Amino acid sequence: MVANQAYPANRLHHTAYVTKDLEATREFYEDFLGFPLAATYCEMDELWGKVRTYCHCFFEMGDGGALAFFQFATEEDEKLFVPDFPQTPFVHIALEVNKAQQAEIERRIAARGLQLPETYVLEHGYCRSVYVVDPNGMTVEFTCDDSKALDPKVDADRRASAHDELKRWLAGDWHNNNPYRADANAHA
């Protein structure tokens, strides 16, 4: 994060997803991963011309933000609000962790006996990511930044070139520009 820069928001308050089984979701996020259930709101609102009944649970993160999940009382409402796209690892939430937290997540994954495709690890070079799939088919990434990528000069250079790199890629020049990957030029 850049010091003294004005941002349009202070932090992530929460993300929100729909689940078909709030208890399975609670067990996964609270009992398995360790995010405390911080709030449960049982609500009714008029949404799209009809009163809808749902339960809304918040699982707290260290900065006060939360992962939130809705379960609707009726299957009709659930079908209306569940996203209509196949689950993919490219639609996920990434949570920042330190090395000890990441090791604990990996210990929990191993203790539960999860294997591909429910979990995997990617070494991006600038970070190391542990992925696990929740009971809803959503991928959750626990990412630990590499110290070399956090260097202020490296960060400043990356920010300065971000727009040019995007323009280059959009123009069809798809060469790898990740200097941290051992395989950076393997597919060039």
The predicted-structure confidence for 84-116, as pLDDT tens digits, reads as follows: 767 788 889 999 999 999 999 999 999 999 999
CATH superfamily of 10-84: 2,3-Dihydroxybiphenyl 1,2-Dioxygenase, domain 1 (3.10.180.10)
pLDDT in tens, 112-128: 999 999 999 999 989 99
User: Residue 88 has what pLDDT?
Assistant: 81
Q: Where are the domain boundaries for CATH 3.30.720.110 in the chain?
A: 86-174
Edge-to-edge strand ranges of the sheet holding 139-145 = 92-96, 139-145, 127-133, 119-123
Residue 147 half-sphere exposure toward CB, CA atoms < 13 A: 1
Instruction: Give dist(CA 102, CA 127) in Å, integer.
Output: 12
Cβ atoms 125, 186 nearer than 8 A = no
Q: Which amino acid is at 179?
A: P
Cβ atoms 154, 107 nearer than 8 A = no
